[in-house]
Amino acid sequence: MSLLILQGGMLTTVQDLGRPGYQDQGVPVGGATDTLAARLANLLVGNPREAALLEMALVGPELVCEQDALVAWCGADFPVRLDQRPLPPNRPARVPAGSRIHCGVARSGARAWLAISGGVDVPVVLGSRSTLRRFGMGGLEGRALRPGDRLPTGTPLFWAQQVQESLQRAGRAYVDWSVQPGTLGRTRTDGNRLRVLRGPEWEWFRPEAWAHFVKSTYHVTKDADRMGVRLEGPLLGLREPRELVSTAVDAGVVQVPASGLPIVLLCSRQTVGGYPRLAAVATVDQGRLAQLRQGDAVGFTEIDLATAHELVLAREADLRQVQTALSQRTG
């Protein structure tokens, strides 16, 4: 029961929903940079919520599945192939033992998540299997995957076996339906506009700064990783020089250092930060941060806190519906 890595890709790591509960020990939460996509991929292979999967970035891995399994992938537009044949996203697919999965180079977006029935079974470190490369913690030896790595996988749930068997009887590699993550919750179709809330220090900025921030277009610089994304565009200045005493931050927080150029934090952020926090990207739009590439344009639209909470609720309700529908469907 394992996955054999033939090519690691650019940056493929084992992730789950992260390592919350240790921020007071200085441990970043980390985990999949788009938790919705990761949760959906796990749901589609019948895994529990906390199962570990693979996160790939820009250039995906090539791997061999050493046992019959169910796999599903969600996220950026990768040309994923299963033994030379296209493997479409957002649905369970049957992978016979010895099959090769080739993920290729992302055509748009940056990251995708590949789940396997039973989950990737690396040791749990501080409550999580997620890889924190900066500190060599979790995942496989705390690092990105490379050729020759063998990842143990866990025991699939009965549902996954049922779907595998029904696909086998039908002589099909994958089901003819899919669940689009973009349709869950109240979605938007206005490109890269992210919904934001005002941050704790927004009043520290010049009166016109907030209007600039939500009206302007920013561009993603080359400094974009799992910790954060540096943007360039109109400068956001403080009313007067002022230092923030280091305090907790979160994924989605937009902090502005002295340069005046905003940094949007992702989940592998530090636990504390010392830059004024102008804004925070709403939870429901944080997955889109994981898909930004150098040069991409992003804009921001303000919403209020009650709306942000309703959006989370609507998305969770849809996800529960998907879970219920899947449990009644085995082929």
| Contact residues for other proteins, defined by CB under 8 A | 20-27, 125-126, 134-135, 137, 197, 199-200, 245-250, 252-253, 270-272, 277, 280-283, 305-306, 308-309, 312-313, 316
Residue with tokens 């079974």: 121
Nearer to other proteins, 40 or 87 (CB): 40
Nearer to other proteins, 247 or 294 (CB): 247
Q: How far is the CB of 277 from other proteins (least distance, A)?
A: 7
Contact 87, 125 (CB under 8 A): no
Q: How far is the CB of 306 from other proteins (least distance, A)?
A: 6
Q: How far is the CB of 178 from other proteins (least distance, A)?
A: 25
Q: How far is the CB of 32 from other proteins (least distance, A)?
A: 16
Helix H or strand E segment including 116: strand 108-116
Helix H or strand E segment including 53: strand 53-57
Nearer to other proteins, 20 or 104 (CB): 20
Neighbour-count burial of 168, counting CB atoms closer than 10 A to its CB (0-12 exposed, 13-18 middle, 19+ buried): middle
Nearer to other proteins, 64 or 125 (CB): 125
3-state helix, strand, coil in the chain (%, to 5): 20, 30, 45
Contact 254, 196 (CB under 8 A): yes
Nearer to other proteins, 217 or 247 (CB): 247
Q: How far is the CB of 244 from other proteins (least distance, A)?
A: 10
Q: How far is the CB of 133 from other proteins (least distance, A)?
A: 11
Q: How far is the CB of 11 from other proteins (least distance, A)?
A: 19
User: In whole angstroms, what is the distance from residue 20 CA to residue 126 CA?
Assistant: 9
| Diameter of the chain measured on Cα atoms | 70
Nearer to other proteins, 135 or 158 (CB): 135
Nearer to other proteins, 48 or 98 (CB): 48
- What are the b/e assignments for 57-94, b being 16+ CB within 10 Å? bbbbbbbbbbbbbbbbbbbbebebebeeeebebbbbbb
Residue 255 structure tokens: 């902090």
Q: How far is the CB of 272 from other proteins (least distance, A)?
A: 4
**Cα separations (Å) of 251 from 60, 124, 227, 238?**
24, 22, 9, 22
Nearer to other proteins, 25 or 328 (CB): 25
Q: What is the secondary structure of 64-115 as a DSSP string?
A: EE-S-EEEEEEEEE---EETTEE--SSS-EEE-TTEEEE--B-SEEEEEEEE
Nearer to other proteins, 67 or 271 (CB): 271
Contact 236, 205 (CB under 8 A): yes
**Cα separations (Å) of 262 from 102, 224, 232, 250, 314?**
36, 12, 7, 15, 29
Residue 249 structure tokens: 């931050």
Q: How far is the CB of 245 from other proteins (least distance, A)?
A: 5
- Assign 234 to helix, strand or coil: coil
